[in-house]
Amino acid sequence: MDPPTPDAAPAQPHANPVVTRTAPAAAAVGLPVDARTAAGPPSAQAHRPDALAEAVVRLGFATVQQVREAMGTSGGDGVADALVRLGVVSRQQLAHANAVRSGVEVFDFNTTVDPAAFELLNERSAHRYQAVPVRFDPDGTVVVAMADPANVFALDDLKIVMDRPVRPVLASAEDIAKLIAQAGRLDSVVAQVVDQSDASDDRSALSVADITDTSDDAPVVRLVNSIIARGVQDGASDIHFEPQAREVLVRFRIDGVLRSVTQVPLRFANGVSSRIKIMSDLDISERRVPQDGRVALQMAGRNLDLRVATLPTVHGEKIVIRVLDRSNVVHDLADLGFADDTLERFRSCYTRPYGAVLVTGPTGSGKSTTLYGTLNQLNSVDRNIITVEDPVEYRLAGVNQVQVNLKAGMSFAAGLRSILRCDPDVVMIGEVRDRETAKIAIESALTGHLVLATLHTNDAAGALARLTEMGVEPFLSSSAVSGILAQRLARRLCEHCREPHMVPASALRALVAEGRLPASLPSQMQVYRPGGCSRCGGSGYRGRMGVYEMLVVSPAIESLMVTGASADEISRQAMAEGMRTLREDGLMRVMRGETSLDELARAVG
């Protein structure tokens, strides 16, 4: 395989444009000059059929050639609809261009929202109209950020609801959701609960009556619901309630990193924990031993599974809620950020009729997500797919999923033995933890089954040594294992605030083995580092992506395994056959501007 090569850095996202009218720039779209000049004043030109296409070109959303091609295929549709149909622009970009064409201001997300303006519209109405009041004009007009400023019916309703004149500005639907979430701070909800509690003569009612109240108006119910809703809105994978000496610290794990979001007075700790236990059908009277539960709920049109775990600490019960969004099950492995060659190597392994495919990495590296995505690719009516998991994170239609239950004697090994008597084609093992499970998995792969499993190792070659440590003979694992995928999750740089900077190519070469980067690299390379803006919560990162290392067991590697070669020797042979290491894959993404060198060091080492 050729060593990783830097792709061209992606174009910078378009900044909020200044609303100006530059008719000559639109001339390139292809209309006769006399037709444009005869169209009349700018106000009339804004509504010409070609004006929206001109705005799209001026903003850089499409090229002149793309607009001309859309004109030729528009038929009875407008040019704008043709551009969307061809995938040249998105509906949001079209709305942006439409706003610029009409002279509507584009909202700058980094400006501060006036709390007094926001209070004019409740959260439910903000969601309904996709609108947020953000400030006041000097004459008292309310400036409202809207996803669709041309929606005259919504504007009329907003004027009536707020009893004030309204001036719309354009904001994306994503920005609207962020504005609503940021304006509804958790601190204000906590303060309201404290005020209500202080006004009550019977504070014990907080942990007895309120926690069993099914009404959303009960203080503790509203507090817990608000925290969970905020966590889901912010994309948290885990919500932590941590009792300390004087307060309960609430933290969200977002993009793999914990962030503190609010503090709840310690006297509310029992009420909050009891409310969460009632939601997840746990014993509220038991506070001395850990408990596990589950909650299924709908929120903002999304089906969520909440996995609840309690742990007694010196200050009270720590509670962690794992948020699993059932609508986020990966249906296409390409969505996980695989490079094309890595995905093709992985596909060549899991599409075989038999053999073991192992996915390795530390806890929280996305192994289960990759396996679920793989099962979705394999799932069909002519295959019997059975899994044994602890826990079953996502329910997959057409897949037989078995939950490990150690108290009932259902371990991974016991479940796997039973699965093999049920005529499976594909077996997925949530984790190979012990010698017995490892041996059964390898024997299953040797007897004509496709086995998907996870291991905890640092790299792909290390998985082979781990199997040997578990008691699997190398001659068996060399014949059974067809491929090993090692992976990590790295945070993706926020496109709105990432900052370019130059680093010497020698610093990049020092991160990988000699000769793994092309000799033609310039002496200085432009890469990006995190900035910090409102969209990413000031972190400089937004979302995560996979970093992968795919080892395919070839005859040469199989021979090395049988002779007891070290993991380093196997890794060098795999690299010679085309494997890109984790660090090389991550470095390729750094040079593309997708992540930073600091994040690569944190995620991969």
Interval 416-456: pLDDT, tens: 999 999 999 999 998 898 899 999 999 999 999 999 999 99
The pLDDT of 250-267, averaged and rounded, is 89
Q: Which among 507, 523, 498, 504 has a CA at the least distance from the CA of 592? A: 498
Interval 360-373: pLDDT, tens: 999 889 898 899 99
What DSSP character marks residue 14? P
pLDDT at 43 over 60: no
pLDDT at 154 over 70: yes
Q: What confidence score (pLDDT) does residue 387 get?
A: 94
Q: What confidence score (pLDDT) does residue 559 get?
A: 94
Q: Kindly report which listed range (215-229, 267-281, 329-343) carries the lowest average pLDDT score.
A: 215-229
* Phi (first) and psi of residue 81, to 5 degrees: -65, -35
Q: Which among 429, 323, 336 has a CA at the least distance from the CA of 386? A: 429
Burial class (CB in 10 A: 0-12, 13-18, 19+), 356: buried
Sorted by sequence, the CB contacts under 8 Å of residue 527 that are 6+ apart come out as: 500, 501, 502, 503, 590, 591, 593, 596, 597
Interval 538-587: pLDDT, tens: 788 988 999 999 999 999 999 999 998 999 999 999 999 999 999 999 99
Q: What confidence score (pLDDT) does residue 64 get?
A: 83
Identify the residue with better confidence: 51 or 578: 578
Q: What confidence score (pLDDT) does residue 205 get?
A: 37
Interval 155-211: pLDDT, tens: 999 999 888 899 998 887 777 877 776 665 666 677 777 777 665 544 433 333 444
Identify the residue with better confidence: 194 or 502: 502
Q: Provide the pLDDT confidence category of residue 113 given band limits of 50, 70 and 90.
A: confident
Which tokens belong to 451?
A: 């086995």
Q: What confidence score (pLDDT) does residue 23 get?
A: 38
How large is the C-alpha radius of gyration of the chain? 28
Q: What confidence score (pLDDT) does residue 12 get?
A: 42
Q: What confidence score (pLDDT) does residue 40 get?
A: 38
Helix (H, G, I), strand (E, B) or coil at 13: coil
